[in-house]
Structure 1
């Protein structure tokens, strides 16, 4: 299982980006954004699993990333990847960090999202 701190460490080392917490009083929703254009390439949140259609009210950590439109459908067929929660469902997906434990796969999706939002 990958932790939100693993994601923060990866984007810090690779892109020099630290998480941004734009919502006052909410330190669990972290935006990952480009330094130059300030566009988001990731959003880490804790939400209840039911918001992804899972049969649970347990809080889970998720990561939203932007992907190429042609990959949205195939990605959603993978375990742990869902329609984007609280984002454009045509261009973004939500990754349940409890279900997708391969750091390399998540890092690849972050890298793609970074490129797509440059």
Structure 2
């Protein structure tokens, strides 16, 4: 799943549009609940090395808030990293490079949406 597909899925499923909060980081998109304003997803483009990847350049990541026990298991798998620029106990980063199946991303996104209700 790429950034554009993710935005479409989030809009269709949760009715949420991306918010671009930082002028310094125009590609960082926050998704939050309308009622309580809690964030449930953040999409960022970060240097590959910050999420444990080799090579030069940037990569899109999706940060989700999940159960800490699940996060511990996910971080042992390719395509997952500690939540970039977030609380590492409660957030996980998913690299949006095709390594993690779309279905799994959708399921984890739903868990994050529910966890932040």
TM range (shorter): over 0.9
- TM-score between the two structures when normalised by the length of structure 2: 0.94
Preserved CA contact (<8 Å) 1:63 1:94: yes
Instruction: Indicate the residue corresponding to 1:14 in structure 2.
Output: 13
* Runs of at least 5 residues in structure 1 that lack an aligned partner in the other structure: none
Distance 2:105 2:25 in 1: 24
Preserved CA contact (<8 Å) 2:71 2:92: yes
Establish whether residue 69 from structure 1 lines up as the match of residue 63 from structure 2.
no
Moved over 4 A (4+): none
How many residues were matched structurally? Answer: 117
Establish whether residue 115 from structure 1 lines up as the match of residue 114 from structure 2.
yes
Instruction: Indicate the residue corresponding to 1:87 in structure 2.
Output: 86
Q: Helix, strand or coil for the counterpart of 2:81?
A: strand
* Runs of at least 5 residues in structure 2 that lack an aligned partner in the other structure: none
RMSD: 1.2
- TM-score between the two structures when normalised by the length of structure 1: 0.93
